[in-house]
Structure formats: structure tokens, C-alpha cells
Amino acid sequence: MAETNLKRPERKLRQKERLVALLLLGVLLFNEPLLGLFDRLQLWLGIPLLYLYLFTAWGAFILLAALILERTVPRRGDREGK
């Protein structure tokens, strides 16, 4: 990956930027205008559309957060001073 060549402070800065972007995405996903699009009396495979949207969006949000935060755990061979 291209990120392996970045120094530690640059990597941390990029991670913070991604977390801020994820926060903004979460605000958009779980705010009234977008939720209103899915608040209908319509079922998809027997599941209300709003519930399906909420659980799918929440799962995607958690997955993205895990992918962003995965790089914070130091690997066994890495030294803290690098």
C-alpha cells in the first residue's frame, strides 16, 4: 500500500482526517432528511425499510471505523520509536 511509506505523524494526521470524514458521513446518514426517505410503510423481505436502512448503515459505519482504526494497533515487529 502507499501508506506504508508515510511517516508516523503523517499517518496519524491522515487517520484523524478520515475519522472526521466518517463522523460527517455518520451525521448525514442518521439525520432526518435521509431517514425520511426510508420512513415508509414498505417491507423488503418482511423487514420494514427504515429498520433495514438503519441496521445496514450502522453496520457499514462500524466496518469503516474498524478499517480506519485498524492501523493504530502496533504490529509485533514494529517499535514505538520508529
15 and 23 Cβ atoms separated by less than 8 Å = no
Q: Is residue 54 part of a domain?
A: yes
Residue 30: exposed, middle, or buried by beta-carbon count in 10 A (0-12, 13-18, 19+)?
middle
8-49 residue pLDDT tens = 778 888 888 899 999 998 999 899 888 888 888 888 888 898
Asked, for residue 12, whether it belongs to a domain, the answer is no
Residue 72 has pLDDT above 90, yes or no: no
Evaluate if residue 78 carries a pLDDT over 70. no
Contact 8, 14 (CB under 8 A): no
The domain containing residue 59 runs over which residues? 18-72
Q: Is residue 4 part of a domain?
A: no
Domain for residue 29, yes or no? yes
pLDDT tens-digit series, residues 44-53: 888 898 899 9
23 in any annotated domain: yes
| Total tally of structural domains belonging to the chain | 1
Q: Is residue 5 part of a domain?
A: no
Q: Is there a domain that residue 68 lies in?
A: yes
